[in-house]
Structure formats: C-alpha cells, structure tokens
Chain A
C-alpha cells in the first residue's frame, strides 16, 4: 500500500470505549467542586508538580529548541503515517514480533482476549496504559473470566478502591496518603495492619503485595510510549520497576498502542526522552525506560505481540484544525497547570483523557455530536497555560475554540429552537458589527443605573446573565460611553505641552 490515497474517501469513523462524558461538564464540575477533600488533594499535588516541572525545564538552555523539534517531528509523523506504520510493522515483524490491527475498542479487546486464551492463562499483569484504559480492557477481560492485575502503584490504588483514574500519569492523584492507607488496609489481604501513611511504607506495601504476582505471571499487557519506525522498537517509560517486571519476566507480552504513537527515527527518541520526563513527573529522567524490538532470544518474553489501535484516531487525523491533538505524548503537563482541572479533577471530564488535552482529544475521537462530549471544549477559560506547558506545542486553546465552532455549527444544523446563548450572540452580532448600532445601545446605558442598587452595583440579572451574578456584581454603567464623550467633549490639546484634558474631568 502506498502513502497516496487511492480509494473512496471515507467518512470519519469515531472511537468507542471510555471516551465519553456521561453528563455535561458543568454538572459534573458542580458536584466535584463540592468535594473539599478532592480540591485540597488536587491543589497540593498540582502545585507540587508545577514547581518541579518549572525547575527542571529551566535547567535546560535548549528547552524551546527541543519543543520545536518535538512539534515538527510529530507533525512529520502524522503527515506520513501510513508509510511509517508499514515501516514499523516490517521491522518489528522481522525480529519475531507479531502485529495485530484493531479498528476500535471492541476489536482490540477481542484480539487481546484471544491471545491470552491461547496461552491457557486466566491471570495477567498489566503496566499502566492509557490505551487499555480507553478501550476498557480490564472490564472486558473480567467478563471473559480473565483477571487483570494493575501493577502501577496509582493504578493499583484505583483498582483496589474500585474507582476510576482521574489523571493520565497519576491516576490516583485525587487520593491523599491517608486515603491510600485506608484503601490498602481495607483491600489488601496480606497487608501489615500497622501500616503507616508514609509514602515509603505505602510503596513497600505495594511491593510486597505484587512481588509474587510478578515472579509467577506468564502473560503481561502493556501500552507503549513510543514506537520507532526505522527500527521497529517499542518503549515504555516508568518509575517503579513494575514496567520492567511485566516487560521482562512473563513468557508472553501483549502491547496495545495507538497508531499515532510512532516516531520516524530511533534518533528522535533523543528529543522525546528529554521532553517527556521533565514535563510529566518533573524529573531530569524517569527511573526506568525499557526498549524492545520484537523478540530477543533468551532475554525477556519470547512471544511478543502488538495491537495497533485506531479507535477514533483516524477521525481526529481527518480534522485539519484538530489533528495536532494526536501529537500528544501523554505527559500530563497540561492538566497539571490547568486551573479548571485543578479544581474539578479528572472525573468531571468523563473520558479516560481528562484536562485540557482530554477536552480536545475526546470529542475529536468520538465526534462532537457524541453524547455529552460537546460540553468538553467549553471546559476552559482559554487562559493558555496548557499551550505554554505542552512539550510538543499543541495549541490546545485554538483547538478548543475550533471545536466550539464545530459544536455551534452542529447544533445549528440539528436544533431549530435557538438557545439563550444563540440569541445573545445574535444580538451581539448586531450591536458589534456597526459603531452606530453600538452607539445607539450605549445611549441606553443610564437605564442600567436604575437596575443598580444604591451601592451602584447590579446584583441580580435574569437568564444566562444570572450565571454571572450568582457570584459577581456588575458595576452600574456610566452616564455616557467613551464614544459619546469623545464626540461631545474631547478637545485635542493645542500643543505638545498639553495633556490635562482627559483626567481633568473625571472626578
């Protein structure tokens, strides 16, 4: 197959699985904001990681050059994705790896199940993987009678607590040490009842709990951070050694990787392995990185599989304005700096991918019309902190605005009765598209004073504007607009000496 498109153009095929919000973001956010413990935990964690990230990023004199390179490499990857996928496939396969392709979540889950069944095992160990969260693999395996054990500490906490991840790097970021201790005491059979809340003791408890599993597991499931096309190499970036355990000890390794995870060259890793650790955990380098290319005889799993997953990625790729969202390397810097995420946490976003990147990636992968995902692009004040933090320079605010446009257009086409927002925008279009119109309206400004109380502020407005006055006053409008003052009262100073004209009559 060549890189050139010869067939019939296909409509975007959207993804399925854990990509959808189940309720509108404002509603979910309202509930999460009411959880004071959650806000305290998130505030503490996000501030810790922000400071660490800033410190290690400032250490490098060439951070911006690295971001430029990273951004260009990912854009180049997307531009020639079919050829790179085929190149990767050829190299990985030549070294004994086996590649499977999955159009969507269901197909990926079926492939993985089939591969596990073929080994005769009913238990698997897992390295933290966003792709398998996205497709709901654990739940699917459970239905099939296969037990999947999460081995990353945060994933373990979430799994033991029967909870959902709320962050892509630290899925249990919403839990503090006391809550984690309580979960361990409640759910870990073999735990020391005297367990303290010290992070080191909690980590040790996880080590003991999982040690036997690692040493006896026959099948492991992983994701991949990068796939290098020119060599067929896969990479897993981690901290605890659970990744190494899963990637090294079992006989069979099944990796699920999104098709967008490729990098063209092995050399490109020199950029991304500098960008990723500093952006995600705020470390110069993460404790462990594993690389493997197919099968290495005598070293590690001898049965090595890779499932290449679409599940809506091609739909995101088809959106010319939105496709750079696929450049994401899942570092989580955007959510760590996001003022909205910091206050609502990840669960409010519904999808596996929360925060600013999730607010664009989820609707791009599912389509803006899908369930409640059309509320996600609005879950941002467009402050731009995410764009600044993104190691591959994804212009998240611009894509958010683009998707808002897609949503408005899509609603326009489907819903015939205009919303309050539609009417407000229509009215503002009239007022703001002509200075004369605005002037006419401004002549009514003194009327606003009537609405204002004795303290010259407006405290309650009806309808959508009432959302403003739920927590904010509005000053009573002025007696005359600037343009009226300009027309009536402004006199240009006669000489260079002048300058007392405007402020002279303000008080």
Chain B
C-alpha cells in the first residue's frame, strides 16, 4: 500500500522523531511511505481560534498537497489534526464560499486516517510485539486525547496497541478521559483554567508511578510534558508511535541525553 504521511506542523517542527517512528512502523509492515512536500498544517489552530479567513489558505494548501499526490491512504500521528482534516476543512471552505475546495477537501478527508486507526482497521495490526517487533520495557501510563476519544471515536485502539508491545508495563491513568487543558490557543487565552486542568492531569499521571505518559497527540503531550517539566517531575511524555517503533535491537532510549518527546538528540 502507498501511504501518504501527513506529519502535522507540530511534529514536523518540534517532534520529528514521532513522524520518523511513524515512517518506520509503516515501512516495517512493508508499505511505501510518501511525504507530500507541499504540506504544512491542518489549520486547526486558526479555525478553533475563530480565524476562518486566515484558515482558508492553510486548508487550501493542505488539500492541494494531498489531492495532487498519488497514494492509497493518508495517515497522521495525531487524532486532532485528522479530526480537523476530516471534520473542519469542508466547514472552512463552506464558510469562505469556496465550493470547489469543499468538494476536494471532502475527498482528502475521507482518505485520511489517524495512525492507530490505520494500523488497526486497515493494516490489521493487533499485536505490535509480533507484527512490528515492538519492545519497550518501561512503566507507562496513557492519556487518551479528547479529539481521539470524542471526534474520531478511536476507543481503545491506541491503548490496545500499547498493550501488545513486548515488555511494557501499562498502568491505568485515573480520570484518563479528562482533558489535559491544552485546547490550542485556549492555553493562552484562558491560561489560568488551562493550567488548573493541567495540574490535575499531572497529579494523576505522577500518582501512577509511571516513568512515562504516552498518548497520540503531540500537542497534548507537549502541554502535559511542559507542565510536568515545570513542576520538576521526572516523568516524561512519549508518542505511542515511538513506543511501537522501539525494538529490542533498536530501543528508544528513555534516559540520559535524550529528551523525551523533546525532539532533541
């Protein structure tokens, strides 16, 4: 299968390891990965902040990048960005009176999958240890992001994949379904409420005794990780794609110099 990777702006710029892990997993399964070069961002930040006019060229750019490329399905390691592509793009086009874009956006949206959706529903991955060689001998908790849960209805797809990783010890996160407080520009416009939500999330994560909190959205993980870091916690955050990509021979290092989900080396 030919799979087009939508890296998403935040992963592309801040967390390239997540996109590289995504590529690794898909290639390990024998699929061809392409990267439409024109891609940039889904435009969700603009839309969710009410800047529809500014969102229009961003959406148009994404649709152009993904409807000129030849591929079977597109994938992004982000529920939130996939929800934007599949739910918001048509809305933006309609609001801006761009009927042609609306039609094209609908086609692109229908072909775009979140990573766990693609792995589970399309590529038939049910046992990461067996099918991907995934091995990650660490104590991990998992935060399901709101858009994965409620917009894409991912259910336990990400969690089930993590459960099937060799060596992993998964611990349940209390109040997992509660928002971490990120919410895009909400984290700045309503910084106090956002921080209060993050504090509770951080406390729940630390209470599990896990070394790491995993999830499927780099933005939420950046928020949670940023809060944990500020509080001086040693608990890091890591995208589930990186855990799936980790193998016995090439483990993802979680100590020393490597900053988790920080993208530095």
Q: Quick check: do A and B touch in the complex, using CB within 8 A?
A: yes
Interface, chain A (partner B; CB < 8 A): 25-26, 29-30, 33, 339-340, 343-344, 377-385, 387-388, 398, 401, 403-409, 421, 425-426, 428-429, 431-438, 441-442, 445, 449, 456-457, 459, 464-465, 467-468, 470-483, 485-486, 490, 492-493, 496, 498-504, 506-507
Given contacts A409-B52, A434-B38, 19 further A-B contacts (CB under 8 A): A26-B190, A30-B192, A385-B146, A387-B150, A429-B46, A429-B51, A433-B61, A437-B40, A442-B12, A468-B187, A471-B198, A472-B198, A475-B264, A479-B265, A482-B16, A490-B35, A501-B27, A503-B20, A507-B253
Judge whether B9 and A381 touch: CB under 8 Å: no
Residues of B within 8 A of A496 (CB): 30
Q: Who on chain A is nearest to B37 by CB?
A: A435
Residues of A within 8 A of B99 (CB): none
Interface residue B109 (Cβ < 8 Å from any Cβ of A): no
Interface residue B197 (Cβ < 8 Å from any Cβ of A): yes
Judge whether A477 and B23 touch: CB under 8 Å: no
Q: Least Cβ distance of B30 to chain A in Å?
A: 4
Bound state CA distance, A278 and B24, in angstroms?
Answer: 48
Bound state CA distance, A388 and B179, in angstroms?
Answer: 14
Bound state CA distance, A384 and B9, in angstroms?
Answer: 23
Bound state CA distance, A445 and B41, in angstroms?
Answer: 17
Judge whether A477 and B263 touch: CB under 8 Å: yes
Bound state CA distance, A457 and B233, in angstroms?
Answer: 13
Residues of B within 8 A of A387 (CB): 150
Interface residue B120 (Cβ < 8 Å from any Cβ of A): no
Judge whether A478 and B27 touch: CB under 8 Å: no
Q: Who on chain B is nearest to A403 by CB?
A: B50
Judge whether A507 and B258 touch: CB under 8 Å: yes
Partner of B197, one of A381, A407, A426: A381
Partner of B222, one of A445, A475, A506: A475
Tally of chain B residues near chain A (CB < 8 A) = 94
Residues of B within 8 A of A456 (CB): 259, 262, 264
Residues of A within 8 A of B178 (CB): 339
Judge whether A432 and B265 touch: CB under 8 Å: no
Residues 130-163 of B contacting A (Cβ, < 8 Å): 133, 146-147, 149-151
Residues 177-226 of B contacting A (Cβ, < 8 Å): 177-179, 181-199, 222-223, 225-226
| In the complex, number of A-B residue pairs with CB atoms less than 8 Å apart | 267
Partner of A382, one of B183, B229, B263: B183
Given the contacts A30-B192, A425-B46, A483-B37, A472 and B262 also touching, CB distance less than 8 Å? no
Bound state CA distance, A471 and B144, in angstroms?
Answer: 22
Residues of A within 8 A of B75 (CB): none
Judge whether B7 and A383 touch: CB under 8 Å: no
Judge whether B185 and A435 touch: CB under 8 Å: no
Residues of B within 8 A of A499 (CB): 24, 27-29, 133
Judge whether A432 and B190 touch: CB under 8 Å: no
Judge whether B265 and A507 touch: CB under 8 Å: yes
Judge whether B150 and A485 touch: CB under 8 Å: no
Judge whether A472 and B226 touch: CB under 8 Å: yes
Q: Who on chain B is nearest to A344 by CB?
A: B193
Supply 15 A–B pairs (Cβ within 8 Å), ascending by A: A29-B190, A383-B146, A383-B150, A405-B95, A408-B51, A409-B52, A429-B46, A433-B58, A449-B264, A471-B198, A475-B226, A475-B264, A478-B265, A498-B28, A499-B27
Interface residue B57 (Cβ < 8 Å from any Cβ of A): yes
Judge whether A502 and B193 touch: CB under 8 Å: no
Residues of A within 8 A of B225 (CB): 473, 475
Over the window 71-110 of chain B, the binary record of Cβ atoms lying under 8 Å from chain A Cβ atoms (1 yes, 0 no) is 0000000000000000000010001000000000000000
Over the window 14-31 of chain B, the binary record of Cβ atoms lying under 8 Å from chain A Cβ atoms (1 yes, 0 no) is 111101110110011110
Bound state CA distance, A481 and B184, in angstroms?
Answer: 21
Bound state CA distance, A381 and B187, in angstroms?
Answer: 8
Residues of B within 8 A of A473 (CB): 225-226, 229-230
Interface residue B125 (Cβ < 8 Å from any Cβ of A): no
Q: Least Cβ distance of B175 to chain A in Å?
A: 9
Bound state CA distance, A139 and B166, in angstroms?
Answer: 67
Q: Least Cβ distance of B206 to chain A in Å?
A: 15
Q: Least Cβ distance of B186 to chain A in Å?
A: 5
Given the contacts A408-B49, A432-B43, A467 and B35 also touching, CB distance less than 8 Å? no
Interface residue B39 (Cβ < 8 Å from any Cβ of A): yes
Interface residue B168 (Cβ < 8 Å from any Cβ of A): no
Over the window 39-71 of chain B, the binary record of Cβ atoms lying under 8 Å from chain A Cβ atoms (1 yes, 0 no) is 111010111111111110110110001000000
Judge whether A29 and B193 touch: CB under 8 Å: yes
Q: Who on chain A is nearest to B20 by CB?
A: A502
Residues of B within 8 A of A478 (CB): 13-17, 262-265
Bound state CA distance, A473 and B183, in angstroms?
Answer: 16
Partner of B196, one of A343, A398, A457: A343
